[in-house]
Structure 1
Amino acid sequence: MRTKQIIAAIAMAVAQPAIAQVQPTPSPALVAIEPQIDTIFAKWMAENHVPGMVYGVVADGQLAYVRGLGMQDLTTRTPVTQDTLFRIASMTKAFTALSILSLRDKGLLSLDDPAEKYVPEMRGWGNATADSPRITIRDLLHHVAGFVTDDPWGDRQTPLPQDDFTKLLAAGVPFAQAPEMRYDYANLGYAILGRVIANVTHAPYRNYVEKTLLWPLGMRASGYDVRELQADRRALGYRWENEAWALEPTMADGAFNSMGGLSVSARDYAKWLSFLLTAWPPRDDTDTGPVKRGTVRQIATGLNFQFVSHRYGASGATACPGAAAYGMGWRVIQDCDLGLTLNHGGGYPGYGSHALLLPEFGVALFAFANKTYAGPTAPVWDSAVLMLQQGAIKRRVLAVSPELAMFYGAAGEVWAQGSVVHLQDKVAMNFAMDRTTANWAKVLRETKAQAGRCETSSPIRPDNAMMGSFTWVCERGTIEGTVMLAPTKPITLQALRYTFVPKT
């Protein structure tokens, strides 16, 4: 199939009604931009010579939108659907990391344990330098174990027999640098984590992931051994070379499966993303997931090896840079517009994938493709930005705590009365030291004179349970205010600010 043919196939797929692959009905705002999302992915697919792909949006705990384009098998011309199985490569690492955290929760290991406690072949490695620490479980999770970045070597190790992996470890692994000195993405580290899981549970790595995550989440179609998967649902992997597609060899399940061996369908993967999103925000609800919500949130915990990240996709050149670090199986980026983001790609012989979690919105996006290293990163991020710009996703609004609401009411009274006298014992010990009662009266009088009459009924915007900001619209501008409570019991007021911003 040549380029013109795949463009025609994409056009046919996009022209088909989306209802057959959507469950349940998406929001009207999302429906309105579905054609634009389809265009983003179809264009990327054609430009990158991708035989087939599937992409989707997870919202409100369900697969809100999903679309399959192109072919999962170019010989049989079987179209991609939400049930087509793709290898997701390094997105497998997220399952491995959460499995390690669940073993920690059960008291079976500690993240700060030396890895050699569970993988005895590592005991003979020695130290990178005389003053270097031994590699810990945490080091492996965060890619700071001192290994060299090993793409694409690691990908080709997937079918390595376990006995051969044992020999590789026993022979020793060279250090690229001392552990805990810098971040270097290493597939080897996650392969070792798979061996840790196997040795701790006294069973193959995949058994623990299946019993702990896949099966409880209903991901019964997914799995690690392609020979056990339903053959007519598998997306075959292709390489584009010499202006034609060539079939990549299918790699069997082996010792490096914990770093990139999982195959999933869009329908199954949506269950995984839905489960992860339930961890935000923290709350008092009953915890019913296979892993605790508090544990899931720890996947976003990175180390101090942060770097500046420019947003993927078309908006990357104009968006403000984000602060990035590697968490536990996820790259974590603080984005100026999207807030906290967790993302990860998967590059593999015959496959490429990407997932993006937006915890502050309760939304996730993902895409799988069956072409070598064809990671659909840009269209996933472009679709997320489009959804934000078009109002198809909304940031979750924090609830205002009773204490914050009470002191915001007090802020209105202070403004109305022009005095803080009535606060008396409701303030923290620093309050009177930072500004005297007399000076409060003076500042309030001057600020009110600048602002003129103000509408003070707008709600406070909570940053957390003990701090919030507010905006009052006034005759000659706005009052930008802050209420900050003190870390004491009973709770008191430590700071109150009213800043006048004149009209421009």
Structure 2
Amino acid sequence: MRWKPGFAFALILGSSVPAAAQEATPEALDQLAPEIDALFAKYQADQHIPGMVYGVVKDGQLAYVKGIGVQTLTDKSPVTPDSLFRIASMTKAFTALAILKLRDDGKLRLDDLAEVHVPEMKSWTYPTSDSPRIRIRDLLHHVAGFVTDDPWGDRQQVLPQDEFTKMLAAGVPFSRVPQSQHEYSNFGYALLGRIVAEASGMAYTDYVRQAILIPLGMTASGFDVTQAPKARYALGYRWENGRWSAEPEMADGAFNAMGGLQVSANDYAKWVAFLLSAWPARDDADTGPVKRSTVREVAQGLNFVSVTNRIGTSGASACKQAAAYGMGWRVAQDCDLGLTLAHGGGYPGYGSHVMLMPDHGVGVFAMANRTYAGPSAPAWNTAVAMERAGLLEPREVPVSSAVAEAYAAAKAAYAAGDLGALRGRLAMNFLMDRSAANWAAEFAALKQEVGECPADEPLAPMGAMSTAFRLNCEKGKLDGVLLLAPTTPATVQALRFRVVPPDRD
């Protein structure tokens, strides 16, 4: 069994976690390609999709990409990494980052009332007299109180801007009080598009192009699909009554900020690679069009957390995810994949999905040209297959000098059977929580069970002030956690040991 620091940490804290995964022999991504291809081929057949493209971004590069099927049923032109697909609600991530960049540039604040930038909202009637007025932040996180509007909102793409202004002036009904619960709203992201335009002084599409697409080299991407090169255009279809029919092409309109972007796989991989490059935090030069710290901010949920199953065939047996909506992303902690950011896209004629694993520098995305055929299951199944194949290498957290020194003293204390080696390193609470005599008794009991511990695994820090550790002992193993206190110099506030059960070592 392989040493998993999160597993050890959870054991020490007494929470329930699954058994550690079997050690996998890492293999190259091209060796896994037949399995990935089979996942997407099955999905294409089952969902009656004319054409798809999918890709894996790893270590800043488009490590694997493949097109299957056709762009159009008329000329049978094959899908390639340069084929252009509408990505529907995956556009929201671009809108969210545009808002954050405008915040960085001093053009707005996330706690601004939205009506400051959209004056038509000032006359709205809220559901209760104590309702908070909608902030920009509420729109980003889908907590503005609007009703879920996927079917209706998807057809508003073509709405002219002046008609949208009239809609806003007329007011909208609320589903609930703002800031009380998450409820997904395309209308809310259309409002964000209007705010981007007002704050930037240019059309939403122009701002996204200048601030994000062009700096990332996404030259094939855009919002005006009527101007897309027909030789690379993946026409959208619906499957109904046992046959395909073409969906109407929807020109750019007032709801573009919620779902109007068109991209190729080669272009979209640049976006995924840029986002993943924001992790981990570091001292390197910050050269992207948006600051790394700002990109990492999109992963912050607004505390409306749900417990969900992982998408894909492993969902029923995998441990539950804790999920929330960040800013243009569904954010979840997964016990196998770590931090995940994901979003689907459903649209007349198109379906898409993207999932990022920032802890590993890996992203998986897919696009299809059939209404609402978002390939979420094969995308997540690909991620799980990569994890099982040993291809998700964790980005290591460096061991701080404070942790290293305290850990060395803790090991020496265990070897000696008393706290002498930790003298001068203990926080004021340590001996109040357990006396030195009781620590000596615990060390003696542990040694009786597992013996001396002459070797250990590499430390697995959770940050600069804590680490999980594993000691390899004469008659077994010990998992432990060392936690420093926020003092200068750093002192030990907690030290915990637990014998590893034989079936989990």
Q: Post-superposition shift, 1:242?
A: 2.0
- The whole-number CA distance in structure 2 between the counterparts of 1:292 and 1:434 is 43
Q: Secondary structure at the match of 2:71?
A: strand
Deviates most, 324-333 or 420-429: 420-429
The answer to whether the 8 Å contact 1:135/1:145 transfers is yes
Question: Secondary structure of the residue that 1:462 maps to in structure 2?
Answer: strand
Q: For residue 28 of structure 1, report the CA deviation from its aligned partner.
A: 4.9
Query: Match of 1:19?
Result: none
Determine helix, strand or coil for the equivalent of 2:471: strand
2:323–2:330 contact (8 Å) kept in structure 1: yes
Are the equivalent residues in 1 in contact too, given 2:27–2:389 (CA < 8 A)? Answer: no
Shift of 1:126: 2.8
Within a 5 Å distance, the mapping from 1:195-206 to structure 2 comes to 195-206=194-205
Question: Equivalences for 1:50-199 in 2 at 5 Å?
Answer: 50-199=49-198
Match of 2:298 in 1: 299
**Secondary structure, counterpart of 1:224 in structure 2:** coil
**Alignment correspondent of 2:497:** 498
Whichever residue aligns with residue 218 of structure 1, its letter is G
Instruction: Provide the residue aligned with 1:428 in structure 2.
Output: 427
Question: What's the counterpart of residue 439 of structure 1?
Answer: 438
Cα drift, residue 420 of structure 1: 1.5
1:344-384 deviations in Å (ceiling 9; x for gaps): 00000000000000111110000000001111111101111
Matched length: 478
Match for residue 30 of structure 1? Answer: 29
Shift of residue 502, structure 1, vs aligned partner: 5.8
Change (3 A) 1:498 1:183: closer
2:337 aligned with 1:338: yes
Match of residue 384 from structure 2: 385
Aligned to 2:307: 308
CA distance, structure 1, for counterparts of residue 364 and residue 377 of structure 2:
12
The whole-number CA distance in structure 2 between the counterparts of 1:225 and 1:306 is 36
Change (3 A) 1:481 1:258: same
Task: Decide whether the 8 Å contact of 1:476 with 1:503 is kept in 2.
Answer: no
Report the CA distance between 1:390 and its aligned residue: 1.4
Quote the residue 2:18 is aligned against: none
Match of 1:249 in 2: 248
Q: Residue 485 of structure 1 corresponds to which residue in structure 2?
A: 484
Q: Does 1:369 align with 2:368?
A: yes
What's the CA shift string for 1:415-467, capped at 9, x where partnerless? 22222124322221112222333333332223212212323343221111111
| Cross-structure match for 2:464 | 465
Aligned to 1:323: 322
Supply the distance in 1 between the matched residues of 2:216 and 2:491 (Cα, whole angstroms).
Answer: 44
Q: How far off its partner does 1:503 sit?
A: 4.1
- Give the alignment's TM-score, normalised by structure 2: 0.92
- Does the C-alpha gap of structure 1 residues 502 and 336 become closer, same or farther in structure 2, counting only changes over 3 Å? closer
Instruction: Go from structure 1 to structure 2 and tell me whether the alpha carbon gap of 1:102 and 1:502 turns closer, same or farther (over 3 Å shift).
Output: closer
**CA displacement at 1:340 relative to structure 2:** 1.0
- Matches of 2:381 and 2:457, distance apart in 1: 34
Q: Give the Cα–Cα distance (whole angstroms) in 1 for the partners of residues 338 and 391 of structure 2.
A: 16
For 1:501 and 1:36, how far apart are their aligned partners in 2?
A: 35
Deviations 1:130-158 (A, max 9, x none): 11011110111111111111111111110
Letter in 1 for 2:56: V
- Contact kept? 1:404, 1:465, Cα under 8 Å: yes
Moved more, 65-74 or 455-464: 455-464
Q: Is the 8 A contact 2:409 2:421 kept in 1?
A: no
What secondary structure does 2:286 align onto? coil
TM-score by length of 1: 0.93
SS in 2 for 1:408: helix
Runs of 4+ in 1 over 6 A off after TM superposition: none
Q: Is contact 1:29–1:391 with CA below 8 Å preserved after alignment?
A: no
Distance, in Å, in 1 between the alignment partners of 2:131 and 2:456 is: 59
Name the aligned partner's letter for residue 486 of structure 2: P
